[in-house]
Every structure is written in C-alpha cells, then in structure tokens.
Structure 1
Amino acid sequence: MLLHGPRLTLRPLAPGDRDAVFAMNSDPEVMRHFAAPMDRAESDAWVARMMAHQAAHGFSFGAVDLPGAGCVGVVGLLEVPWQAPFTPAIEIGWRITRAHQRQGLAEEAARLALAYGFGRLRLDRIIAFTPPANEASWRLMERLGMRRQGDFLHPRLPAGHRLSRHFWYALDRAGWMAARDLEE
C-alpha cells in the first residue's frame, strides 16, 4: 500500500515511525477523543500491531508523509477487533499531529484509503466511529460520503465513561462509486 495524493503519501508504518507516532499518541490534545494519551510502550505496541495487520492483510493504518515534514499522522483501514452491532467490519480512521490539523490532510489521506479499500481490496462496506463530541471527525465522515447509522457503547470503555457512546457511520461501494461519478 503506497498511495500518492496531491500533497501527501500514505504508506505502511515502519519501525522508523515510532518516534513521530509516539509524539502524536502522547499529545493530550490529539488524543482528547480517545480514552487516554499513550505512553511510549503503548504507542510502540500500537505501531507493532499496525505493522502486523499490514503484513497479514495487506492494509492497516499507515503513515501520512508530507514532503519536508515526514510522518504527520496515521490514516487507513483496519479490521474491527471487537464485537459491535456493525461487526465484522473494516473501519477507516485517522489521527493527525496537532501542527498539521485543519489543513485537509486527514480528508486527502482518507480519500486515498477509501479508494484503496473499495478499489483494490474490493470491500463491500467501510465503517467509521467516533464519540459525539468529536465533531471534526464525524463531519469528515459526512464529507467522505459516509452516513450515520446509529450509536453504540464502545466495548473497550467502561460503562459511564465520558467517551463510551459513539456514533457509527458507513459507506458501501455503490455509494462510494456514485459519489465519485458526481465529482467527475
């Protein structure tokens, strides 16, 4: 998976990305819609899981490389590893460093990941989820053509946790293709 957009490249994560990913995963502002920022061991383990998923499935969350800046985030596709109303499923997700947020990089990389998922991987459906408070993320899901399907309680968060309730969105291949036809 090596995907090129107008401003960035989306590529598999590598061991050399651990420092950049840790800087992002440990930033409380970047991680405000996650259960907690990650410490170094948690972040390195996350990178290892993404690399293993890439090796096993041919896709995962990958590094968002920006010329002159290196890895400024992670975007990609991942099998949802827990049970929810929409599983089994492949999710799309993103995380961008604070300095590079609000520049359209997550959207550009997500569009590359969707094209890879619906094109090369021939996926039928891709989902996404986020807490309701993460308006920037669910607005991006809507710009990508995804539609809100409902909400659920995230099984990896304790009951009553401030982030336990999540919206979930979906986009199927036919909807993605129809949206592409309208853009052309």
Structure 2
Amino acid sequence: MTEIRTPRLLLRRWTDDDLVPMAEINADPEVMRWIDDGRVRDLEDTAEDIETWEETWDDEGFGPFAVELLASGELIGLVGLSVPEDLPEILPAVGLAWRLGRPFWGQGYASEAAQAVLEFALTDRGVDRVVSVVRIGDTASENVTRKLGMTLDRETVHPGYGHDLHVHAIDLSEYVA
C-alpha cells in the first residue's frame, strides 16, 4: 500500500471509513466553488469519486491520496495526481490537485501534502513534468503552486465549463527537493 508521511500528515489510499467525511467536505459550497462546475457533491457522488480515484491508482500507479492528520487520524481532504483528460490541449500531462475541508485552510496543509505528492510523482513514479490547473481567481491555490516552484505555463479556458484557467507546470529538471 502506498503511503507518504509528512511532519503532520499521512497520505494514503482510500478506505470505506473515508466516505462520510469526504462527502461532508464535498458538500461545502465554499470548498467546491473552484472545482469543476462548482456544484456540491453528495454521498452518492462522493462514493463514485472514491471508486474512480481507486481505479486511477490501479490503472496509472498514482491517484488522489486521502489526507489525514497524524495527530488525530481525521480525514482533512485529498491531494494527488491524475491525468487531466478534460483539457486535451495540455496532454500528455500529469496533474496535481488538492481539496481540503474548510477548517483546515490557511494552516499549510495543502502545501505540505502537495510538496510530498510532487516529490512522489517526480522521484518515485518517473513523471518528468507535473501541471496544476487552477481557476483564475483562486488565489489560495495559486499560492500553493508558487510554493511548489511551479510557474505559469499558459492561460486557457475549460472546454466544458467555460472557466478561465491558469496551467502551472514544473519539470523534473527544475525541481528542487
């Protein structure tokens, strides 16, 4: 089983116990406002998401990690990798994304977990370039990409939702662990 430990977090594969807390995160309109079409996701949607994320792990050898606090074991969200198939103009690519519950914002957890996943992608999984797709206006996520050393690669528009996007990228040759 693939796990990553940081000073405060455990990043791991998904379990049945993660369904309800992740559904609670997905039900928060403030959490979801920058994701996809901005709609909240219910328990059934979240169950489908977790099943898809686990299939991604099986198919790709990477995927979104469940992120929990080491101190309490509480699930705080997800950070992980996927292929951004909804943006064919940037393919082939591996994307890095995060989604944390609102009580965990502003504490450096997203940056801490994303840094660990970026290192995992570039040094363990043999990925030579990682992108992060951020809706323009999502300043918190823009800040995380800067902390990771990612730079703006391009601006584009999401073909399905019409949102203006920034695509940030970092190559293995630019990465400093």
Task: Calculate the TM-score normalised by the size of structure 1.
Answer: 0.90
1:124–1:172 Cα contact (<8 Å) kept: yes
**Matched residues, percent identical?**
27
In 2: Cα distance, 1:19 partner to 1:39 partner = 10
In 1: Cα distance, 2:107 partner to 2:43 partner = 27
Whether 1:99 and 2:98 are equivalent positions in the alignment is no
Q: 1:148 aligns with which of 135, 148, 152?
A: 152
In 2: Cα distance, 1:155 partner to 1:16 partner = 35
Which residue type is aligned with residue 128 of structure 1?
S
For 2:49, what is the secondary structure of its paired residue?
Answer: helix
Equivalent residue number for residue 45 of structure 1: 48
1:84–1:152 Cα contact (<8 Å) kept: no
Report matched runs for 1:103-122 at 5 Å: 103-122=107-126
**1:14-52 alpha-carbon deviations (Å, 9 max, x no partner):** 222111110001101111212211122212111110011
Task: Calculate the TM-score normalised by the size of structure 2.
Answer: 0.93
Which residue type is aligned with residue 59 of structure 2?
A
Equivalent residue number for residue 20 of structure 1: 21
1:78–1:91 Cα contact (<8 Å) kept: yes
Long gaps (5+) in structure 1: none
Equivalent residue number for residue 63 of structure 1: 66
For 2:59, what is the secondary structure of its paired residue?
Answer: helix
1:57 Cα deviation after fit: 1.9
Moved over 6 A (4+): none
1:14–1:51 Cα contact (<8 Å) kept: no
Equivalent residue number for residue 168 of structure 2: 169
Which residue type is aligned with residue 15 of structure 1?
D
CA RMSD of aligned residues (A): 1.2
Which residue type is aligned with residue 29 of structure 1?
E
Which residue type is aligned with residue 109 of structure 1?
A
1:84 Cα deviation after fit: 3.0
1:122 Cα deviation after fit: 1.1
| Length, aligned pairs only | 173
Whether 1:74 and 2:86 are equivalent positions in the alignment is no
